[in-house]
Chain A
Amino acid sequence: MNNYQQKKTAKPAGTGLIRRTYTRKKVCRFCADENLKIDYKDSRLMRNFVSERGKIMPRRITGNCAYHQRRVSKAIKMSRIVSIMPYTSVNI
């Protein structure tokens, strides 16, 4: 029992520094602002959710909630069809 406890207490001391990462919790933009509407014709807003290559960014990076991420990715795909958004940005 004693040994076990010692080991447990010794561990953080042995590892020394505990790495602290200060990550601010991301908030879904569309939940925070109700006036923001997801529109497939609005390329300026869609640009925020797309990488430089034109790929749709995942939820863990954009910080959207699941409901709005679904809408955003649908809207991007719709605007790709009418060539408002690019499929790939290799040409540019």
Chain B
Amino acid sequence: MVKKNFLKSIEHQFPKKYETLIILNPDIEENRLNQFIDKIKDVMSKNGAEFLDFEDWGARKLSYDIKKLNRGKFILVHFSAKGSFIQELERNLRIWDDCIRFQTVVFTKDIEPKKENIEEAVNE
């Protein structure tokens, strides 16, 4: 008897908050970056997700080489969506050439206060 995976068949009606960290090619031009962000927003609006926040960390040193690059442009995107949307988003990110790496995480209380700390550190 084949067991059914019930979890897959359930569709959550309520949206959750997510956070994706995207690493881009550091030599990316501004036009291209704006295009990239517009595309993310476009994908979100098409699939019923809500774009919340966007943060640019600038170019940072990577701790190991990815695709023969030792620096990368870090971007944080916050959004609220249903769980099934993440597959769609990551599929789109994989197609984009400048995107080196990405990670999506559920946005919890542990992550939240960090944002203020970063701002404080910058101001100091």
> Interface residues, chain A, CB within 8 Å of chain B?
35, 37-42, 78, 81-87, 91-92
Contact = CB atoms under 8 A, between A and B. Distances in A.
Interface of B: 21, 23, 62-66, 72, 101-103, 105, 109-111, 113-114, 117
B111 A83 contact: no
A70 to B, nearest CB: 13
Contact of A86 (B64, B102, B103, B113): B64
Contacts of A40: 105, 111
A92 to B, nearest CB: 8
Contacts of B110: 37-39
Given A41-B21, A83-B72, 17 more contacts: A35-B113, A37-B111, A39-B110, A39-B114, A40-B105, A42-B114, A42-B117, A78-B103, A81-B101, A82-B101, A83-B62, A83-B64, A83-B101, A84-B63, A91-B64, A91-B65, A92-B63
A83 B66 contact: yes
A83 B26 CA distance: 14
Contacts of A82: 21, 23, 101-103
Contacts of A81: 101, 103
A41 B64 CA distance: 16
22 contacts: A35-B113, A37-B109, A37-B110, A37-B111, A37-B114, A39-B110, A40-B111, A41-B111, A81-B103, A82-B23, A82-B101, A82-B102, A83-B62, A83-B63, A84-B63, A85-B63, A86-B63, A86-B64, A87-B63, A91-B64, A91-B65, A92-B63
